């Protein structure tokens, strides 16, 4: 283990000690409980509707804009 690796590890441990893990975990749990959106997304080619965003339509395999 080199000197630079030890220094990087020490800096990372110091950074983790100052961060509040409880706040980070609560924020993550809140994001999982309430989805970011419930909007309906429609395929421009075939009209397939879903409640999640998709880049390629699962029905017609058309790439969305």
Give the global pTM. Answer: 0.42
User: E strands within 1-65?
Assistant: 41-42, 49-50
* pLDDT confidence band for 46 (50 / 70 / 90): very high
pLDDT surpasses 90 at 31: no
Rounded alpha-carbon distances, angstroms, from residue 56 to 36, 45, 47, 48, 60: 20, 11, 13, 11, 8
> What percent of the chain shows pLDDT beyond 70?
88
pLDDT surpasses 60 at 1: no
pLDDT surpasses 80 at 50: yes
């Amino acid at each position: 283990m080199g000197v630079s690796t030890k220094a990087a590890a020490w800096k990372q441990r110091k950074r983790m000690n100052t961060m509040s893990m409880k706040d980070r975990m609560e924020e993550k749990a809140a994001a999982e409980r309430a989805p970011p959106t419930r909007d309906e997304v429609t395929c421009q080619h075939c009209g397939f509707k879903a409640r999640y965003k998709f880049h390629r339509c699962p029905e017609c395999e058309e790439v969305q804009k």
